[in-house]
Structure 1
Amino acid sequence: MAEDPVDPRHVIDRQVLEMLVCPLTKTRLTLSSDHKELISIAARLAFPIVKGVPLLSLEEARNVEPEELQALSRQPH
């Protein structure tokens, strides 16, 4: 089954991503490999991206497992 094409309105601009910071630690966020979350390595939280809009609310965030953080730290930025 083919994946639905991505609506260009739902894609976050890289320059915008570089300006966003974690609401808890104020540190830089990392885009997940599937482009569905912004991850705060310092806070160990992942914030969802819904229709191109990052939900930077602590209520929306999920905890990131240590194994995931290790994999992220090995990825080129």
Structure 2
Amino acid sequence: MAVDPKLLELLVCPLTKGALSWDAANNELVSRLARIAYPVRDGIPVMLPSEARSLSDEELAKLAR
């Protein structure tokens, strides 16, 4: 399930206030600045830092492609 593009334009990372990108493969919103990914459950982004997972250098490189 994808995130509405209009919603994605409005959402920012709660930690960095930076832009988020959609990772459809993992159903997550990615903050490259914070190096974390927020889960999207049932179409609803869970924007809590405690729910986010850290991203490795390899994962960030894959997302940049």
Whether the TM-score (by the shorter chain) exceeds 0.5 is: yes
Counterpart among 56, 60, 64 of residue 65 in structure 1: 56
Q: Which runs of 5+ in 1 are unaligned?
A: 1-9
TM-score, normalisation: structure 1: 0.77
Matched residues, number: 65
**Would you identify which runs of 4 or more consecutive aligned residues in structure 1 move more than 6 Å?**
none
Q: Which runs of 5+ in 2 are unaligned?
A: none
Answering whether residue 51 of structure 2 is matched by residue 55 of structure 1, we say: no
Counterpart among 2, 13, 32 of residue 41 in structure 1: 32
TM-score, normalisation: structure 2: 0.90
CA root-mean-square deviation: 1.4
Of Structure 1 and Structure 2, the greater strand share is in: 2
Higher Cα Rg, which structure = 1
Identity of aligned residues (%): 43
Deviations 1:9-61 (A, max 9, x none): x6421111111110000000010032610000000000000000000001100
For 1:63 and 1:16, how far apart are their aligned partners in 2?
Answer: 23
